Amino acid sequence: MWDFLQHLSYWNWLAFGTLLLILEVFGAGGYLLWIGLAAASVGLLTFVFPGLPWAGQFILFGLLSVLTAVFWWQRQRSAAKPSDQPGLNQRGSELVGRTFALHEPISGGRGKIKAGDSLWLVVGADLPAGTPVRVVGQNGVLLQVEAVQPG
């Protein structure tokens, strides 16, 4: 083992970096990309400075791995911005605050309203069909409704 470490060459680092990048292609989610690039960088530095001792190579690899991961994390964090369409892919959230007539009575706490061309399950106090209700919230596919007070 010591003999291998004493004669660690740039080919070993480039092969290790290539292996990590290949594994990244199979779905590591970005984690191995930065470690693979750090290994390839150590390989290039070992090519340029062939007398670099193995301990220095490992220290350099560790530092580059941490630095590239932190750099990417900060870049991703600064690039994240709030969506200009916060309700996107949250079907039903656009119905909150709107008023509808009950399509089917609320019985046992559950009923249905018709919104556009869709029927929605609703939860609320028992009410007869045709009663105007306001959507006050959403819990998954269930809309929470309350009776609209006249006036």
pLDDT of residue 113: 94
The pLDDT tens digits of the residues spanning 18-34 come to 999 999 888 867 778 88
pLDDT of residue 150: 75
pTM of the model: 0.51
Q: Which CATH number fits domain 93-147: 3.40.50.970, 2.40.30.30, 3.40.50.1820, 2.40.50.140?
A: 2.40.50.140
The pLDDT tens digits of the residues spanning 35-94 come to 999 999 999 999 999 888 888 999 999 999 999 889 888 887 887 777 777 666 677 788
Cα 77 to Cα 67, 69, 81: the distances in Å are: 15, 12, 9
pLDDT of residue 89: 66
Where do the domains of the chain lie?
2-79, 93-147
